Structure 1
Amino acid sequence: MRTGRPPGPVIDRPERVTSGTIHVADRRGEHVDRARQRLREFVENLIAEAAQDGDLRDDVAAGELAGYCLHALTAAGTVDSHDAVHRLVAVTLTGLGTPAPPP
């Protein structure tokens, strides 16, 4: 039976759907923000421990390096090939290495 309405749910009160959608989006944003913060803290702690052990550079704060790494690795989603991803990871890891002693 054809009613002349488009397929899908009938929305008799669009403000409810909009309000609920915004609420769900806000909650999802909170979860994503918390996950990003936990990831950043995790990476920061790994870098701090490795720097303390002498395996990574200690001349830059671990939190700063974690931010650089996460931003750089986010760029991996924009490259066109696996080789480019591998180069990006290699460059990022090289940047974490202990700096050469001054001449």
Structure 2
Amino acid sequence: MPKLWNETIETHRTAVRDAILGTTMALAAEHGLLSVTMSRIAKEVGIGRATLYKYFPDVEAILLAQHDRQLAVQLEHLHAVQSAGGDPRRQLEQVLQIHALMIHEHHDSVIASVMHRSGGRGHQDAFLQDMLQRAGEVGEIRTDMSPQELATFCLHSLSAAAEAPSQAAVKRLVQLTLDGLRAH
């Protein structure tokens, strides 16, 4: 097939996939997750159910795809912080703040319920472990615990951001978490 034809088909597929993801999120936000069905999604997108099933096997797969998309954006942002270089403790603070603010802003979203069931947290955990390892190597944080244990501490500690009453409270939570990481 000619290159133009392939690009046109791929553009169409991407547009349909984006419409499916957006519509599913809108339906879940408006009517509740339990009311979202494949038939309703197909009708709202303007495609047949058979076409929808060519893209996703069920509603949960659509939600997981949206979660993966959001996670990729967050990881891209986190990698930008890491790539900028500078003081490892300051980088760690920025990364924890990004993570905590995301939890604070999206804690009651449909995606939040899916995040708890998916393996997406593994990417965040590995990224955070790497940052903690580097910060420990230069004496910025404690080294009496493994980076894996410290990452688990951070992620659990920052999960409290879901209940924080304001962004200022989230920032205080990040500082408290950093205090727990401080080298003795």
Q: Work out the number of aligned pairs and report it.
A: 86
Map 1:37-52 onto structure 2 (within 5 A).
Answer: 37-52=122-137
Helix, strand or coil: the match of 1:54?
coil
Q: What corresponds to 2:154 in structure 1?
A: 69
Q: What corresponds to 1:54 in structure 2?
A: 139
Residue by residue, what CA displacement relative to the aligned partner does 1:22-69 show, whole Å, maximum 9, x if unpaired? Answer: 5545x5599453431011000011001111111110001110110110
Distance of aligned partners of 1:21 and 1:93 in 2 relative to their CA distance in 1, 3 Å threshold: same
Matched, 1:82 2:159: no
More helix by share: 2
Give, in whole Å, the separation in 2 of the partners of 1:43 and 1:84.
22
Q: What corresponds to 2:105 in structure 1?
A: none
Q: Indicate the structure (1 or 2) with the bigger Cα radius of gyration.
A: 1
CA RMSD of aligned residues (A): 2.9
Give, in whole Å, the separation in 1 of the partners of 2:66 and 2:166.
30
2:59 aligns with one of 6, 13, 21: 21
Give, in whole Å, the separation in 2 of the partners of 1:46 and 1:84.
24
Distance of aligned partners of 1:52 and 1:81 in 2 relative to their CA distance in 1, 3 Å threshold: same
TM-score normalised by length of structure 2: 0.39
Report the identity percentage: 30
CA displacement at 1:83 relative to structure 2? 2.6
Counterpart residue identity of residue 21, structure 1: V
TM-score normalised by length of structure 1: 0.65
Helix, strand or coil: the match of 2:58?
helix
Q: What corresponds to 1:96 in structure 2?
A: 181
Q: What corresponds to 1:12 in structure 2?
A: none
Give, in whole Å, the separation in 1 of the partners of 2:119 and 2:61.
17
